[in-house]
Structure 1
Amino acid sequence: MLKKELRVILVSLIVSFVLTVAKFSAYFMTHSVAILSDALESIINVVAGGFACYSIYLASKPKDANHPYGHGKVEFFSIGFEGAMIFIAGILILVKAAQYFLYPRDLHQIENGLWIVGVTTIANLFLGLYLVRSGKQLPSITITGNGQHIMTDVYSSTGLIIALSVIHFTGWNWLDPAVSVLMGGLILTKGYQLMRRSISGLMDETDMKIVDKIIVILSSHRRHNWIDIHNMRVQQYGNNYHIDCHVTLPYYLELTAAHDEMKYIEKLVNSEFKGSEVEFFIHMDPCIPSCCHYCLKEECAVRSHDFIGEIAWTRDNVLPNRKHG
């Protein structure tokens, strides 16, 4: 898995470096600030690719005494670093565009610049799709984030091609810094989104999509001994997850039987999370008389209340630290 992730990110690094050189050559040829904006963003692709290589290597290291949950959190640093670099590039692009508004420059060889930008955009499109698909298959938030950044580069480059075409046929050179401003705004937005994703991961913000997925898995394989599940907390460490929860079981179950139920839950969820490891810390709660009205266990010699109806598991009753009902 590690070799495949490193191979994917190395492909991104090499291609991004070649495309950056091509874009800067187009800038020196045309003196277009919009092309310069595109080239500056490509530098970020190269820098982020290098940092991603290290973060993928570090995230693959096994757990140790100092890092009992592994090293996966470094991937959130990686996308945060990339987001910060993108944000800085966006600011530089806006500053450069303002300078060109105040001190306009003549553009040269627009047609040649168009061809270079067009070829690099097509190459970036294939690279971005490759990274996003690989990031989902592995899975890797670093590679996925890198792919999403490349796709943003594709969208901005497409707008750049349209603007340069208009400039070429109309001579409206003022469009050059105007388009650069739009690209700078788009880049700032993408940088903010990546930094927001990084902060949420480092702060252990709950990913409700993962919570919903776990609830669906457990609900569809629900056993009668699982009276309810509550106080669920999900933490992500790179590609892996750590889950705390309480499971209410019949109070008279022997320890071995209760342990078997817990191991089954862990095995069940792991079988549905392809490419990821899910570690469970499960606290076993004994049932109390108030559980009887929603307990599905039909043959129970100690039932003290009639069964009224099953309570569906949702975020509202799985996340809080209290038994259902």
Structure 2
Amino acid sequence: MLRKEFRIILLSLLVSFLLTAAKFTAYFLTHSVAILSDALESIINVVAGAFASYSIFLAGKPRDENHPYGHGKVEFFSIGFEGAMIFIAGCLIWVKAAQYFWGESQLREVTQGIWLISATTLVNLFLGLYLVRVGRRLSSITISGNGQHIMTDVYSSLGLIVALAAIHFTGWTWLDPAVSVIMGGLILRKGYQLLRRSVSGLMDETDMQVVDRVIQILRAHRRDTWIDVHNMRVQQYGNNYHIDCHVTLPYYLELSQAHDELKAIEMLVNREFPNSEVEFFIHPDPCIPACCHYCQLAQCPVRSEAFTGKITWKRENVLPNRKHG
């Protein structure tokens, strides 16, 4: 699968390089600062694509003694690097726009610029949609992040086309730097979002969507011997996950029986994450009398309290480090 990811990101890199060349051609024809802004963002697509190619190559390396969880964390460095480059591009665009506000406009050949940017936008649209779809299917944050960035480029290019058309028909050249300022703001926002995602991944911030998905899977296939699940922690390494949790089991189970129960949990979740590897470190907790009132094991030989009701598993009782009830 990683070889496929590598081929996809190389395709993105090649297309982005060709589109960047086309956008700079449009800039030299028109001298439009708004087109220059679009071209600068495309340079980031090329740089980010190159870094993403390396990160996918590195993420595909097997675990070793120095990296017992694999090399998947490099993907968070990849989107962080891309976010930083986008942020810098946004700042450069604002600087260039400010210079054009105070200088004399040199716009020319606007019609040719419109056609060139329209062509690059169409190609980018197909590429971005393809990368987002494949990235989700392969659970690759690098491919998905690259696709989202390209889709942002598409939206800004559409706004640019509208602005160039308005300039062509009205002669309002002040629209050129004004649109550039708006595009710079959108680019800065996207750069911040990617940086935020990178930092959260490197700091092992909990992805609540993954937590909810794991809880839903366990809840749907819950066994009576799984009295409760608590102290759950989820870490992401590329498109793989490492999950720590405690599972309360009947205290009288033999070691082999407890092992089978925990193995069933690991196999169950991995089956529901077909494009990822989910590694579990599960700590078995013995039940205590306080668990009896929500334990659903009808034939329990040591029950000391009557069953009063099932406790639904959710974030509020699965994440804290304590037994339910």
Q: TM-score, normalised by structure 2?
A: 1.00
| Alignment of 1:74 onto 2:77 | no
| Alignment of 1:223 onto 2:223 | yes
Q: Deviations over 1:137-178 (max 9, x none)?
A: 112100000000000000000000000000000000000000
Equivalent residue for 1:162? 162
- Number of corresponding residues: 325
Using the TM superposition, give the Cα deviation of residue 320 of structure 1 relative to its aligned residue in structure 2, in angstroms: 0.2
**Inter-partner Cα distance in structure 2 for 1:78 and 1:106:** 38
The amino acid across from 2:299 in the alignment is E
Counterpart secondary structure, 1:298: coil
**Inter-partner Cα distance in structure 2 for 1:186 and 1:120:** 19
Equivalent residue for 2:18? 18
Equivalent runs, 1:76-155 vs 2, <5 Å? 76-155=76-155
| Alignment of 1:187 onto 2:199 | no
Equivalent residue for 1:265? 265
Counterpart secondary structure, 1:183: helix
**Inter-partner Cα distance in structure 1 for 2:137 and 2:250:** 40
Equivalent residue for 2:323? 323
Counterpart secondary structure, 2:129: helix
Structure 2: gaps (5+ residues): none
**Inter-partner Cα distance in structure 2 for 1:38 and 1:65:** 44
Counterpart secondary structure, 1:232: strand
The amino acid across from 1:236 in the alignment is Q
Equivalent residue for 2:287? 287
**Inter-partner Cα distance in structure 1 for 2:274 and 2:209:** 16
**Inter-partner Cα distance in structure 2 for 1:53 and 1:300:** 55
Q: TM-score, normalised by structure 1?
A: 1.00
Aligned-residue identity in percent: 75
Counterpart secondary structure, 1:198: helix
Using the TM superposition, give the Cα deviation of residue 32 of structure 1 relative to its aligned residue in structure 2, in angstroms: 0.1
Q: Deviations over 1:156-210 (max 9, x none)?
A: 0000000000000000000000000000000000000000000000000000000
The amino acid across from 1:169 in the alignment is F
**Inter-partner Cα distance in structure 1 for 2:216 and 2:65:** 34
Equivalent residue for 2:46? 46
**Inter-partner Cα distance in structure 1 for 2:294 and 2:219:** 14
**Inter-partner Cα distance in structure 2 for 1:85 and 1:295:** 54
Q: Deviations over 1:221-263 (max 9, x none)?
A: 0001000000000000000000000000000000000000000
Counterpart secondary structure, 1:190: helix
Equivalent residue for 1:63? 63
Q: Deviations over 1:109-137 (max 9, x none)?
A: 00000000000000000010111011011
**Inter-partner Cα distance in structure 2 for 1:284 and 1:18:** 56
**Inter-partner Cα distance in structure 1 for 2:285 and 2:17:** 56
Equivalent residue for 2:33? 33
The amino acid across from 2:28 in the alignment is F
Using the TM superposition, give the Cα deviation of residue 3 of structure 1 relative to its aligned residue in structure 2, in angstroms: 1.6
**Inter-partner Cα distance in structure 1 for 2:304 and 2:263:** 29
Using the TM superposition, give the Cα deviation of residue 106 of structure 1 relative to its aligned residue in structure 2, in angstroms: 2.0
Using the TM superposition, give the Cα deviation of residue 105 of structure 1 relative to its aligned residue in structure 2, in angstroms: 1.9
Equivalent runs, 1:241-256 vs 2, <5 Å? 241-256=241-256
The amino acid across from 1:97 in the alignment is A
| Alignment of 1:312 onto 2:312 | yes
**Inter-partner Cα distance in structure 2 for 1:211 and 1:145:** 21
Counterpart secondary structure, 1:244: strand
**Inter-partner Cα distance in structure 2 for 1:241 and 1:104:** 55
**Inter-partner Cα distance in structure 1 for 2:298 and 2:23:** 70
**Inter-partner Cα distance in structure 2 for 1:235 and 1:139:** 14
Counterpart secondary structure, 1:105: coil
**Inter-partner Cα distance in structure 2 for 1:273 and 1:115:** 44
Equivalent runs, 1:171-182 vs 2, <5 Å? 171-182=171-182
What's the C-alpha RMSD, in Å, of the aligned pairs? 0.5
**Inter-partner Cα distance in structure 2 for 1:70 and 1:10:** 22
**Inter-partner Cα distance in structure 2 for 1:229 and 1:85:** 42
Using the TM superposition, give the Cα deviation of residue 104 of structure 1 relative to its aligned residue in structure 2, in angstroms: 2.5
